[in-house]
Amino acid sequence: MLQTRVNSGLDGVVVADTLMSEVDGEAGRLIVRGHAIEELAAETGFEGVAALLWTDFAQSGGDEAAVRQGLAAARVRAFAEVPKLVAATKGLTPVEGLRVGLGMLADSEPMPHHYLVCGALPVFLAALLRAAEGKSALAPDPTLTTAQDLLRMVRGKRADAAFEKGLDAYLATVADHGFNASTFTARVVASTRAGLISSVLAALCALKGPLHGGAPGPVLDMFDEIGKPENAAAWLDDAFAKGTRLMGFGHRIYKVRDPRADVLKNTVATLPQTAGRLAFAVEVEKSAIAALRKHKPGQRLDTNVEFYTALLLEALEVPRSAFTALFAVGRVAGWCAHIFEQEKGGRIIRPQSNYVGPRP
Ligand code: ACO
């Protein structure tokens, strides 16, 4: 008999065992391949986290130096696609441009596809940002890490060490996070054996909306509208009266504060001249939590990763239009890991629906 109880958001539905990460929503804890996220952000960096995630699943997984080399070679390979990409993406936002760029990569590409996509995204993003300013793209430097090279390719010269470290910590922090919407999408597509590039492209599309990866830009819009901490309470009451969701708050799994919020807040504090903005954000956050308790009592809504992502990416001088695209540059490592895991042991993901239309 057909099951008729509908769970539209799949809350609490467990569809796989995974070795990748554990999101403990009650304790506010994130573990990635056995390591606390706080440790990975502070000590490991993006290449190290990618190596960790790919351990036992991909060529050179577990070997940070080899991963660094593989990603550098992939950036060089991807740069060959840049003229075609720039010509095809005029007028598109950065995340729309990345969508085109991934779509241009052939399944027949001989380079291992996890390297190819992870190397392509930073190269494409930098080229798209420069093209938007009428500047030509800069070739990658294979001696650098992803974070160092991305900032260099965007700015035209190496950034200060604090900026490079800040971006590296960000990419490491967001690299994986359980079965979020984009990762699940990647696994659904991988479950049909469509291949890694198609699965990553699908994941990118799932990351684009404001409820998943697109929240940090609107967080800054909220800061702009609030302007001064003393305006926050009235602005927030008005937002709730209009039924607006507060961007950077709430999470399906976390019922307490998202641990990545503090990791990124601490990273912002390491960057020059952020004290004033950070103090303002902390005040807005306090007011927002108070407003959530007042207007949504019993809902257990707290700060999520996107609130301090907004502040960090602003401090790194990343344009707002590129926030979601930059998230993808980090999360792609996790997507690849989950695609490998799905391909290795998973069956086709094919749930059921409950027909409520007319019958013949
Ligand atoms: N602001 C105001 N109210 C909220 C918020 C919010 N940010 N989040 C949830 N709620 C309320 C809902 O209105 C609903 O209230 P109601 O029962 O009175 O109607 C209740 O909390 C439950 O909401 P759901 O939509 O069922 O919660 P769900 O788990 O499906 O949503 C989500 C999770 C999408 C993250 C949600 O909290 C949200 O929209 N947050 C804002 C967008 C955001 O910050 N996204 C980034 C998430 S982190 C990431 O993706 C990397």
Q: In one letter, which amino acid is 166?
A: G
Residue nearest to atom 2 of ligand 1 (CA): 245
Going by pLDDT thresholds of 50, 70 and 90, the confidence category of residue 61 is confident
Q: Does the structure show a pLDDT above 70 at 1?
A: no
Going by pLDDT thresholds of 50, 70 and 90, the confidence category of residue 60 is confident
**pLDDT > 70: what percent of the chain?**
99
Q: pLDDT of 252-277, one tens digit each?
A: 999 999 999 999 999 999 999 999 99
Tell me which of 210 and 118 has the higher pLDDT. 118
CATH code of the domain made up of 216-315: 1.10.230.10
Q: Report how far residue 172's alpha carbon sits from residue 104's, in angstroms, rounded to the nearest whole number.
A: 26
Atom of ligand 1 nearest to the CA of 305: 48
The CB of 249 under 6 Å from ligand 1? The reply is yes
CATH code of the domain made up of 21-211+319-345: 1.10.580.10
Q: Does the structure show a pLDDT above 80 at 4?
A: no
Provide DSSP, 201-239: HHHHHHHSSTTTT--HHHHHHHHHHH-SGGGHHHHHHHH
**pLDDT > 90: what percent of the chain?**
96
Q: Which pLDDT does position 62 carry in this prediction? A: 87
Provide DSSP, 38-91: HHIIIIIHHHHHHHHHHTTTSTTTT-HHHHHHHHHHHHHHHHTTHHHHHHH-TT
Spell out the domain ranges in the chain. Answer: 21-211+319-345, 216-315
> pTM, whole model, 2 decimals?
0.96
Going by pLDDT thresholds of 50, 70 and 90, the confidence category of residue 3 is low
Residue nearest to atom 35 of ligand 1 (CA): 251
| Selection from 115, 122, 117 nearest residue 141 by Cα | 122
Q: Report how far residue 228's alpha carbon sits from residue 161's, in angstroms, rounded to the nearest whole number.
A: 31
Centre of ligand 1 from the C-alpha of residue 96, in Å: 25
In the block, which residue shows the tokens 């890694």? Answer: 196
Centre of ligand 1 from the C-alpha of residue 248, in Å: 9
334, 176 contact by CB (below 8 A): yes
Count of C-beta atoms within a 10 Å radius of residue 186: 30
Q: Average of pLDDT values for 42-56?
A: 97
Q: Report how far residue 258's alpha carbon sits from residue 12's, in angstroms, rounded to the nearest whole number.
A: 18
Give, in order, the Cα–Cα distances in Å from 353 to each of 1, 3, 7, 180, 356.
13, 9, 10, 21, 9
